[in-house]
Amino acid sequence: MAPALPTSLPESPYLRLARVLGVLNVIVSLGLSLLLARALTDLSHRGFSTGVLLLLVVLVTRWLLTLILFEWSTYTAREIRQHWRLRTVDHLRIPRLEGERSRGDLLLAIDHAAEGPSIEVLATSARLSVLGLIIVFWAVGWLSTLITISLMALAVPLYQRAGKRSEALAHEYQLRRATLESRQLELLSHTPELRSLGAAQYGADEIAAISTSENTLAMRAIRVALTSSLVTEFLSGVSIGLVAMVVGFSLLGGRVSLLRALIAVLVTGEIFTSIRRFGAEFHRRENAAKSLTLLGDVAPLPHGLSGGPLIRASQLVTRASDEVHSLELHSGDRVLITGASGSGKSTLLQTLVGWRAATAGSVEHSYATVGYVSVESSLLSGTLWTNITLGEDLARERVKALLGDLGLSGERFSDLDEPLLADGRGLSTGETVRIVLARSLIRHPDLLILDDIAGVMDATTQQLVRQRLERETDIAIIEATVDAPLVKSPTQTLVLHHVR
């Protein structure tokens, strides 16, 4: 069976209302089946005006019910997405670090969770549709009822089995897809080296093999879905057909009226329609339930400071070193972190801003925005202007002045609308780093992180950047470097000694 959707989360009111709507949907649908049977009976007895009027009532009511359920599902999905995106916004801001799980699974979980209430409507409708068996029994007796129950008993396990197989294949497909994307990016980044060694075919063959396995897995998933659909549609058709045959013989023998015969056939069809609709969403309901559980375990990241220091670290130990650090950072402070390569400077920076979990101790934040600049920072596809402004409406003179302050002048940087090559190709690492630095400074963050960037600049450029940073008196800056720091006269210096 599908796991029950958690009810201790903010979706609870929506889930409760979904069950009410599911009950209403069943009652109205069964009632419309009875009304449709009456309309068809009247038409067969030449009661055209009454029959047509009842048909119109059935059609309009069905349309209104479908519209109400659709609009409600759209509204609840939007509200749930908004709630979880606001709650997880801090987690979504954290960049994915090497070897860590992508935060993209939170976005996928939010979309799955948003489908929970609408799927609950279908689940409730499917469960309560069995009440139609009472109507079938009242209308034509035990034989048609027994046929419907028997084929329902066969259909439900098939839906569950197909749902579990689809879930397993979907999980395997996602893993295979992630492997393909990761390997493609890795091989593409090494294309020049592979070509120079005459081994470009190696990369092409490997990508082709992974892609083929992915396509094979996708086809398996499609076959499972089609097989399940065909079998369940067959059982549904057989059930309705057998009921219609039994009812037809009874009608010919005069043992049942036309009205009751139509009621039995239409209600049987309604029962299987509800079951089929839920069966088609069985896998999505499992996804919704698991997504709500995942989101329920995502606690808001701690901030805890208000109106005080931007960062307060107490007895902090990182994953890279056993050294203990304590730090209190205020607006305008300058903190310098030095140490040999591999001593854990970058890990300490990422732990201070909350991108990595601490091994021991605690970190509290109160800043709203942070600029992070490292030699691994990359540019976006687009122009120099879009890379720096990120869509904000800024004065071009201000942007050009900032670029000039950072030593980015001359013909290469005079046209802000000149497209950059993919990911900054054609620019030096030092130029790329300064463009990313300009992107941060133009937004005037509360905190600026400089992760060992001085080493990719010459002495003249270092002096220009140093002078520009000195003008940002209200921005707190933390710099990690081996030597030649850009930060002048730091208010605090942390020296890392231990290398694991």
Contact 239/268 with Cβ under 8 angstroms? yes
DSSP-derived secondary structure for 163-219: HHHHHHHHHHHHHHHHHHHHHHHHHHHTHHHHHHTT-HHHHHHHHHHHHHHHHHHHH
> At the topology level of CATH, where does 311-496 sit?
Rossmann fold (3.40.50)
Alpha carbon distance 19, 24 (integer Å) = 9
Q: Show me where the domains of the chain are located.
A: 12-179+231-296, 311-496
CATH of 12-179+231-296, one of 3.40.220.10, 1.20.1560.10, 3.40.50.300, 1.10.238.10: 1.20.1560.10
C-alpha dist (Å) from residue 206 to 191, 192, 459? 13, 17, 44
Token pair listed for 314 = 């107490």
Pairing outcome for strands 311-317 and 360-365:
antiparallel
Could you check whether 12-179+231-296 and 311-496 share the same CATH topology? Answer: no
Along the 500 residues of the chain, how does pLDDT read in single tens digits? 444 444 444 556 888 898 999 999 999 999 999 999 999 998 888 788 888 999 999 999 999 999 999 999 999 888 888 877 777 666 555 555 544 445 556 677 777 778 888 888 988 898 898 888 899 889 888 888 888 888 777 776 766 666 666 667 666 766 766 666 666 666 666 666 666 677 667 767 777 776 777 677 667 766 666 666 666 667 677 777 888 888 888 878 888 888 888 888 888 888 888 877 776 666 666 667 666 666 665 555 555 555 678 888 889 888 888 888 888 899 999 999 998 888 888 889 888 887 787 888 888 888 778 899 998 888 887 888 988 988 888 899 999 999 999 999 888 888 888 887 766 667 888 999 999 999 999 999 899 999 999 989 999 999 999 999 999 989 999 999 988 889 888 999 888 876 55
H/E element, 449: strand 447-451
